[in-house]
């Protein structure tokens, strides 16, 4: 691959051979190149997990933070410097488990960032415990009687939160995935792309083949701006619909709503402090 | 009988939450300060929005004495339960002034605030009447009062303004004409130009002056006031203020903001800070700057949420897993709060480590007048470098600090990672790099040494007894020692807690007897001193009922300890 | 009131006069009495906030824990002793803000507990900052340019999570509220009742009158088991629908799913340890 | 040339994650132990599921020596990078045995494990061949091997079982026939009856024996194995095991479980524990029992997630806001791990305070044989009382402990509150009750004193040099000191960390020289000792590259320090 987002030692990647993450990486790099972004203006943000290692393997700025905590720094980075393109990556455990509360509230803020969740329905890095999206009945060394908690439906959740762009893809379909990734990044506002990703080491149920067999694409005439329809789609399983399931344009972003950007779009980080304003503030106390 | 108060009077307002103590105090503080009085106030309140009994102490004095006094000279009870609530602080000299049913104490003067207010048109004016009354007692110029009220209520309807002016005037007259009381306190023109600030305001203004432009927080008493102050400054200053969903979001957002190039601060209390422990560890690993204000309240858990304690020092010292450096400051005065908060930003940006400003409810809610700040000779240091294509965020350098770049400022890439990483910020499991990175982070604490503010010695150099304190107890303890007039006792106050100043041991070792005063139950500062210097402080004066120390109590306790020794 | 759930010093309650919480308290006490529960078999669980003080004012067992953290102990208490009736109380900040993640995942477990959220659209105890449900544009000392984050829609969220009983009431309507409270407690599985509650001290917008004017009751023929319709209702505002909005019977509860209760319904806390089993476990290591 | 190994041989398996080192070790450990060898193994691995290089050390010895050895006698590399990865541990004596392309080291013996496996039918049998080979080297009875394999693969198809039996036999033959190696190690029948356990299993079985019946956790290396063990026990024992959404949920659920009457445990590592800090404070306030296992790994932040360190002692000592008591244990041996974990439940229930069991990756992943446990003379203490109608959860009592009731067990009500509370568990802001409650909680630490396990002294009583350690470093250090054969040096090991045993100062003070050994970068135990006793330990041997100490390295470092003194 001759892509400016590729890294030098790309043979050192710590994922398992055959892991869906390799596909996602290739796809996102293509998209970034196609979008003519520069590594400098791009920031990849993530938590911890196999998915969350993505930033390490893309030539760009990155903030690879704590497990579950990708969204708060991503939001802050975008707010402090809206000229950056900010993409967040995480696993299903990372973003829907440990970090669930940030997902709820990031949706309320609607920052102009894109979140990619590598949904392998398992905790990969910690070697195969159930994640919030693990299927009912799945046995693991911890869930040794099989998972009985209802799997989280991230699409329904996202729609209920009115996340302004909600899509699902399967990384085994590069063309379609790239198309949707592009749309998600171009979308103004918070976008969630739930990526079906096979974990070849710990998820022997939801395999490449399984995803292939249990997904289909939304038709051209599907209208993602219709929330009611979107909900219906969100609950479809076996096969699961792929594509942009819900979309809600026109809502202001977090950055746009911030007072400091109302009249002046210079990024906060490029402004300097105004000493006389500070003095005024102090002298109010006389 | 005539009650005389010379050079210092302690007036306490007490009543239910929501009855308006805060608004009376708000009016009085500005009026008294502007008319040239030294003003000090502090509040204690219950964890409720209405009802209960709260009280605010107001001290007016000829000298700048900002200690908390137990003694009440004049009590103005707004509710039935007020006198009972404060009974332990009433003396034979105490005068209780107020409405008939509330003035059953032995020395009482009835002033029908509410009736007067009702005459003016509404009971709600009674607070203004009470404020006027105290101004009258203190001989504040009537015109000043009227002008001030017009200004204070400027946003209200004219009718309301007018009636408040009547209210203040009526109260003023009663106070002025009252013959049973004579208060003689010096005023000064200098004071009129002073700032009048709470601890929270001093911290907030300091942050503003230090270049803070991003504030994240989740509301939590007693730290919320700093959040609210910063929000109020954001009207005229470039500051992003965001209330986050939880404290974990707060710390992680704050770190994201610094990463992008902002100068960010968070404010919280012990329980919220506990939730940030993991994030503090991230801060250390990515060598991010971070300024964090922590206003302590009594724990554990929810504890006494609106009261005061110095019980979170250990938490702040050790929060986060793994070994890493940090700086902990604990201002004793408003000046220290301002300058420390201001300097915290440069320092944190320079050393790329967290700086904690540790206050408490007593400190943030206390208010007094101080000289205006010196803003010269200070610059917001441009600690961010423009990156080259081969930029490495965690480069090993001679001076031990890796130049800090931010995204899209130069040709380089800025990569930070919560895993152990190589110079470029990428994950590594190389054992040698690991060791070098740990050493690099640890070494920064050495670099800080030259910046440490030494502890402040009050009193003679050749003391016999050394009383040690830290943070908010300073003013009260200083006043207590001044009143003891014992030349052999000096006071050592730490406003820079960690790393401890190198002279600490010598200071302690010189004394025949050492006494530490801490507003907690285990002597956490004494433990820190011992673990760092090996020095075991002889005596501890600890308080942990949720209230601050008073001057009287400290005088007593120190005297007891000194006498005990003599026996 | 002559109710066995009343407390002796009920004049000492720390809420503001006129606060909606008094109504809720009265309502819940009536319901408890009506359901013939005993204080001993009842456990009220809460976090921190004005709402979360409720357990203090009801004569029963209680676990008044940390801000935002009511649901995890409630779940554990019910699991350790399913014979107890476990009710959780919290504020909108408590349960939808700080504690959001536990709401997501408690819904997946479906323990047989009932959650009452006193939704006053404000942080009461901390004196008037915006909560996740505060209305757009609401000004506070922190949100001094007005709230611009989209308020959380707890009903839509709850339905998307398939919480098995989702209702909304207004505490100003005791009769209807009690009816629904009763249903919620009787419901087998996790039940959420979002209670519109006026905060007379800090919310001068969403007042008693406002709630009165901006709510209506779902008709008798409304079918709460229809998820699609429920979603539609969830997004209705001004007026907001009141009543049982969504219901999903028949799902197994957390306790029922636990292995230890498959063949034996003796509460865990009443069982004693079996030494020979332990020895067996140890001897497997020979 | 003949390689002879007497009484002790260190065999290291190395290869990529996923290549099967663990399964070879799994087979070998049981086979060797069951045939009467003293067995020790420990693993180091990268934070990845496939690829990289990991290694497992297996020691077989005549004596029970369970220290980590740096020296490798026989290396079996399964991947190309294995030899390079371990080069610093190879000596002139080291034999590298394996496939052609991997045995380029100076002393190498080629054994074509894969080719043999392929002959049998599939490359995957190569691990069994390798296991058989080592058994052959060690003269394990072939029949034992075959029987064991049949048992081990019992759940597989007969064809697979058969082929594995062929594989082990073929490997066995090669090993047995190999003339270049002669290994002489004593076996013993006694060992056959021993338990073979990892640290994680010892902790887990201890918890089981202590009556643990509720386990909450969020997966986190290296603590997950305890969660998985407990889950496996839940098949035949009454245990609720729940994986929670996050660590905050974990701690709060655990406290809920205790409140209802369960005996609950959580297991985590430093980062997860940091998130529980606020919950620990709640535990203290509601005086709940709590048993928490914390397996340390190198921080800060994500750090080196699969490696080892003792860097979280300070966090565990001080996590949570406010002042309150806790107990911290850190087992040095499997026996200690079992008994401490078992006793933790009674102790925690009795004193109503958190008990932390502090291990680390090295400890939980190490495995060796020990005598079966003594389960007599121990009872799960019924610490729960049946409540009366006037029951008060936080009653002030003579002995300082409030009898603990649970809901619906008796006529009383059980009320617990994170705010400061009165005896009945209801919120209070009464200043006197506050003080009494703080004192009551604090006093429990005094009560604990009589239960504290004293530090263990190995060596003579009249030592000149005292080497101090805690937790997992015990076995290695003990072995190092034994080999030094210096009568003047004794070892003092702390398995009970906090509160420190009262004799600590005397032990230290008796020595001419004190040396502490800690697997962290700042000497956290030394700090604790200093802050508690004032004693400053002379020398620190610290290691923080993510690896455990080895016997060789400790011998060297201690010798250097002793010699330094002599100069
Ligand atoms: C606070 C905290 N808890 C737990 C962990 C351990 N941990 C690391 S990754 C992970 C989950 C991985 O699953 P997922 O997020 O789905 O990512 P995947 O590896 O499957 O891509 C966990 C639990 C951690 N690093 N930090
Ligand atoms: C960890 C933590 N953060 C913050 C607080 C402070 N706090 C107490 S109650 C509360 C919010 C109250 O709002 P809500 O939950 O809506 O309850 P209400 O008082 O409105 O009923 C907050 C932020 C706390 N106690 N603990
Ligand atoms: S464990 Fe699963 S998700 Fe992780 S790298 Fe391997 S295949 Fe991919
Ligand atoms: S602040 Fe609001 S919610 Fe709290 S008690 Fe007062 S009225 Fe009720
Ligand atoms: Mg996953
Ligand atoms: Mg609320």
- Cis link prior to B530 (omega < 30° from 0)? no
| Pairing between β-strand B489-494 and β-strand B456-458 as defined by DSSP bridges | antiparallel
Chain A residues touching chain C at CB-CB below 8 Å: 96-101, 104-105, 107-110, 132, 145, 148-153, 156-157, 159-162, 227-228, 231-232, 234-235, 251-252, 254, 257, 259
User: In this model, does residue D513 exceed pLDDT 80?
Assistant: yes
In whole angstroms, what is the distance from residue B488 CA to residue B497 CA? 25
The distance of Cα C110 from the centroid of its chain, to the nearest Å, equals 13
Environment class of residue D395 by beta-carbon count within 10 Å: exposed (0-12), middle (13-18) or buried (19+)?
middle
Both tokens of residue B526?
A: 């004494």
**pLDDT tens, B286-296?**
999 999 999 99
Rounded CA gap, B27 and D390, in Å?
A: 49
Beta bridge partners of D55: D14, D44
Residue D109 distance to chain C (closest CA, Å)? 34
Residues of A in contact with B246 (CB under 8 A): 101
Instruction: List chain D domain ranges.
Output: 3-184, 198-370, 384-451, 456-566
| Cα distance between residue D87 and residue D84, in whole Å | 5
The interface predicted TM-score of the complex, written ipTM, equals 0.98
> Does residue A2 carry a pLDDT above 90?
no
| pLDDT at residue B107, as a whole number | 87
Give the single-character DSSP code of C52. G
pLDDT averaged over chain D? 96
Taking only the tens place, the pLDDT of each residue in C108-126 is 999 999 999 999 999 999 9
A1 pLDDT exceeds 70? no
Residue in chain C nearest B250 by alpha carbon: C98
Place of tokens 């392998």: A120
pLDDT at res. B103 = 78
To the nearest whole Å, the CA of C193 is away from the closest chain B CA by 21
- pLDDT of D565 strictly over 80: no
- Determine whether the shortest distance from the Cβ of C93 to ligand 2 is under 6 A: yes
B238 touches chain C (CB under 8 A): no
Pick from A16, A48, A142: which is nearest to D228 by CB? A142
Q: Considering only alpha carbons, which residue of chain C is nearest residue A135?
A: C108
When mean pLDDT is compared across B457-461, D48-52, D208-212, the lowest value belongs to D48-52
Task: State the helix-helix crossing angle for B524-533 and D524-533, rounded to 10 degrees.
Answer: 110
Asked whether residue B565 carries a pLDDT value surpassing 80, the answer given is no
What are the tokens at D329?
């244990």
Q: Shortest Cα distance from C56 to chain D (angstroms)?
A: 6
Task: Give the pLDDT confidence score for residue C1 in this predicted structure.
Answer: 52
The 10s digit of each residue's pLDDT in B266-275 is: 999 999 999 9
Mean pLDDT, chain C, rounded, equals 97
- Residue A230 CA neighbour count, 13 Å, CB half: 28
Does the CB atom of residue C69 touch ligand 2 within 6 A?
no
The rounded Å distance from CA D239 to ligand 5 centre is 27
pLDDT-based confidence at residue B241 (cuts at 50, 70, 90) = very high
Fold classification of D3-184 is Pyruvate-ferredoxin Oxidoreductase; domain 3 (3.40.920)
Question: Stretch D62-83: mean pLDDT, rounded?
Answer: 95
Residues in chain B: 567
Helix (H, G, I), strand (E, B) or coil at D364: helix
What is the percent of chain C with per-residue pLDDT over 90, rounded to a whole number? 97
Question: Is the CB of D31 inside 8 Å of chain C's CB atoms?
Answer: no
Q: Which pair of structure tokens corresponds to residue C82?
A: 């399913």
| pLDDT for B567 | 59
Q: Which residues contact A192 (CB under 8 A, 6 or more apart)?
A: A114, A115, A117, A154, A158, A163, A165, A166, A167, A184
Distance CA C180, CA C242 (A): 10
- Express each pLDDT in D203-237 by its tens digit: 999 999 999 999 999 999 999 999 999 999 999 99
DSSP-derived secondary structure for D131-158: HHHHHHHTT--HHHHHHHHHHHTTTS-H
Per-residue pLDDT band for A9 (boundaries 50, 70, 90) equals: confident
Does ligand 4 come within 6 angstroms of the Cβ of C19?
A: yes
Q: Does the pLDDT value for residue A228 go beyond 80? A: yes
Chain C contact present for B301, CB below 8 A: yes
Topology (CATH) of B456-566: Rossmann fold (3.40.50)
- Domain B198-370 in the same topology as domain B3-184: no
Among A201, A203, A206, A208, the mutation site with the greatest number of ligand 3 atoms within 8 A of its Cβ is A201
**Beta strands at C42-46 and C61-64: parallel, antiparallel or unpaired:** parallel
CB of A241 within 8 A of CB of A56?
no
* List of chain A residues whose C-beta atoms are within 8 Å of the C-beta of residue D224: 126-127, 129, 142
Express each pLDDT in B7-20 by its tens digit: 999 999 999 999 99
Task: For residues B335 and B339, give the distance between their C-alpha atoms in angstroms, rounded to a whole number.
Answer: 6
Q: Please determine, for residue A280, whether its predicted confidence score (pLDDT) is greater than 80.
A: yes
How far away, in angstroms, is A77 Cα from ligand 3 center? 29
CA B536, B541, B543, B547: dihedral to nearest 10 degrees? -130
Question: Stretch D14-27: mean pLDDT, rounded?
Answer: 93
Secondary structure E strands in chain C: 42-46, 61-64, 85-91, 114-119, 165-170, 191-196, 215-217, 240-247
Q: Are residues D49 and A201, on separate chains, in Cβ contact within 8 Å?
A: yes
Q: Residues B135-148: pLDDT tens digits?
A: 999 999 999 999 99
Query: What pLDDT is stored for residue B100 in this prediction?
Result: 86
Contact of D113 with D98, CB cutoff 8 Å: yes
Average pLDDT over residues D321-347: 97
The ligand minimizing its distance to the Cα of C127 is 4
Element at D542 (helix H, strand E) = strand D539-542
Average pLDDT over residues B80-93: 93
Supply the DSSP symbol for B68: P
CA C119 to centroid of ligand 6, rounded, Å? 6
DSSP per-residue codes, chain A:
---TT--TTTT---SPTT-HHHHHHHHHHHHHHHTT--GGGEEEEE-SSSGGGGGGGSSSEEEE--TT-SHHHHHHHHHH-TTSEEEEEEEHIIIIIITHHHHHHHHHH--S-EEEEEE-SSBTTTTSB--TTPPTT---SSSTT---SPPP-HHHHHHHTT-SEEEEEETT-HHHHHHHHHHHHHSSS-EEEEEE---TTT-SSS-HHHHHHTEEEPPTT--TT-HHHHHHHHT--SSEEEEEEEE-TTPPPHHHHSGGGSS--S-GGG----HHHHHHHHHTT-
Instruction: Say how many C-beta atoms besides its own lie within 10 A of residue B143's C-beta.
Output: 8
User: Domain B198-370 belongs to what architecture?
Assistant: 3-Layer(aba) Sandwich (3.40)
Q: Give tens-digit pLDDT for B370-396.
A: 999 999 989 999 899 999 999 999 999
Element (H, E) at D350: helix D334-351
pLDDT recorded at residue B289: 98
Question: For residue C94, how far is its CA from the centre of ligand 2 (angstroms)?
Answer: 6
Question: Rounded mean pLDDT of D443-469?
Answer: 97
- Residues of chain C with Cβ-Cβ distance to A110 below 8 Å are 149-150
Tell me the chain C residues in contact with residue A257 when contact means C-beta distances shorter than 8 Å: 148
- Cα Rg of chain B, angstroms: 26
The average pLDDT across B419-445 equals 97
Domains of chain C: 20-255 (3.40.50.970)
Question: Residue D263 and residue D255: Cα distance in Å, rounded?
Answer: 10
């Amino acid at each position: 691959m001759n892509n400016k987002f590729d890294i030098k030692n790309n043979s050192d990647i710590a994922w398992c051979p055959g892991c869906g993450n390799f596909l996602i990486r290739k796809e996102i790099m293509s998209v970034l190149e196609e979008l003519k972004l520069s590594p400098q203006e791009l920031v990849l943000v993530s938590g911890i997990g196999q998915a969350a290692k993505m930033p390490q393997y893309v030539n760009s700025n990155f903030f690879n933070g704590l497990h579950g905590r990708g969204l708060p720094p991503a939001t802050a980075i975008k707010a402090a410097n809206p000229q950056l393109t900010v993409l967040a990556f995480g696993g299903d455990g990372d973003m829907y488990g440990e970090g669930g509360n940030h997902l709820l509230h990031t949706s309320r803020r609607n920052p102009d960032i894109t979140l990619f969740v590598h949904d392998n329905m398992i905790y990969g890095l910690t070697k195969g415990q159930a994640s919030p999206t693990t299927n009912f009945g799945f046995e693991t060394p911890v869930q040794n009687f099989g998972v009985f908690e209802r799997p989280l439906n991230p699409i329904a959740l996202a729609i209920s939160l009115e996340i302004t762009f909600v899509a699902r893809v399967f990384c085994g379909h590069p063309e379609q995935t790239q198309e949707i990734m592009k749309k998600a990044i171009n979308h103004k506002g918070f976008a969630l792309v739930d990526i079906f990703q096979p974990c070849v080491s710990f998820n022997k149920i939801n395999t490449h083949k399984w995803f292939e067999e249990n997904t289909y694409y939304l038709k051209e005439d599907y209208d993602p701006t219709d929330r009611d329809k979107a909900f219906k789609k969100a609950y479809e399983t076996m096969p699961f619909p792929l594509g942009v399931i819900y979309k809600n344009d026109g809502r202001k972003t977090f950055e746009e709503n911030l007072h400091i950007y109302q009249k002046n779009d210079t990024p906060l980080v490029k402004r300097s402090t105004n000493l006389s304003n500070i003095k005024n503030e102090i002298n109010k106390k006389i | 009988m005539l009650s005389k108060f010379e050079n210092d009077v302690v007036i306490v307002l007490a009543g239910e939450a929501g009855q308006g103590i805060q608004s009376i105090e708000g009016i009085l503080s500005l009026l008294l300060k502007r008319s040239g009085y030294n003003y000090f106030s502090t509040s204690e309140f219950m964890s409720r929005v209405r009802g209960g009994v709260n009280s605010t102490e107001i001290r007016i004095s000829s000298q700048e004495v900002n200690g908390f006094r137990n003694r009440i000279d004049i009590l103005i009870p707004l509710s039935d339960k007020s006198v009972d609530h404060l009974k332990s602080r009433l003396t034979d000299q105490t005068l209780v002034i107020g409405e008939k049913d509330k003035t059953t104490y032995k020395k009482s003067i009835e002033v029908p605030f509410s009736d007067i207010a009702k005459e003016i048109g509404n009971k709600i004016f009674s607070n203004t009447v009470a404020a006027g009354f105290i101004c009258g007692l203190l001989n504040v110029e009537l015109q000043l009062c009227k002008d001030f009220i017009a200004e204070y209520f400027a946003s209200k309807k004219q009718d309301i303004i007018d009636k408040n002016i009547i209210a203040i005037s009526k109260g003023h007259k009663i106070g002025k004409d009252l013959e049973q009381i004579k208060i003689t306190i010096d005023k000064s023109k200098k004071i009129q130009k002073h700032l009048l600030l709470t601890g929270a305001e001093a911290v907030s203004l300091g942050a503003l002056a230090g270049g803070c432009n991003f504030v994240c927080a989740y509301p939590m008493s007693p730290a919320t006031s700093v959040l609210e102050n910063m929000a109020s400054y954001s009207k005229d200053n470039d500051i992003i203020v965001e209330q986050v969903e939880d404290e974990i979001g707060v710390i992680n957002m704050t770190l994201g903001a610094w990463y992008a190039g902002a100068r960010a601060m968070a404010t919280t209390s012990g329980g919220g800070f506990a939730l940030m422990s993991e994030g503090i560890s991230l801060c250390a690993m990515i060598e991010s700057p971070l300024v964090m204000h922590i206003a302590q309240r009594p724990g554990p858990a929810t504890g006494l949420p609106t009261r005061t304690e110095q019980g979170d020092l250990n938490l702040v010292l050790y929060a986060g897993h793994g070994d890493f450096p940090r700086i902990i400051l604990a201002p004793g005065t408003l000046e220290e709060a301002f300058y420390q908060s201001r300097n915290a930003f440069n320092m944190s940006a320079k050393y790329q480590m967290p700086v904690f400003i540790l206050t408490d409810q007593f400190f943030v809610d206390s208010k007094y007048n101080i000289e205006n700040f010196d803003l010269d000779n200070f610059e917001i240091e441009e600690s961010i470098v423009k990156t080259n294509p081969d930029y490495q965020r965690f480069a090993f350098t001679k001076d031990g600090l890796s130049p800090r770049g931010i995204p899209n400022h130069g040709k380089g890439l800025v990569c930070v990672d919560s895993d152990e990483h190589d110079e470029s910020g990428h994950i590594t499991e190389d054992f040698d790099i690991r060791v070098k990175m740990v050493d690099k982070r640890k070494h920064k604490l050495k670099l800080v040494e030259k910046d440490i503010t030494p502890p402040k010695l009050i009193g003679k150099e050749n003391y016999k007894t050394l009383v040690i304190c830290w943070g908010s107890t300073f003013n009260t303890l200083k006043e207590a020692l001044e009143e003891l007039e014992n030349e052999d006792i000096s006071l050592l106050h730490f406003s820079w807690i960690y790393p401890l100043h190198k002279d600490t041991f010598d200071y302690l070792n010189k004394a025949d007897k050492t006494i530490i005063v801490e507003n907690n139950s285990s002597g956490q500062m004494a433990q820190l001193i011992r673990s760092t210097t090996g020095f075991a402080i002889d005596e501890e004066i600890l308080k942990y009922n949720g209230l601050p120390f008073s001057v009287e109590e400290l005088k007593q306790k120190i005297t007891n300890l000194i006498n005990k020794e003599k026996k």
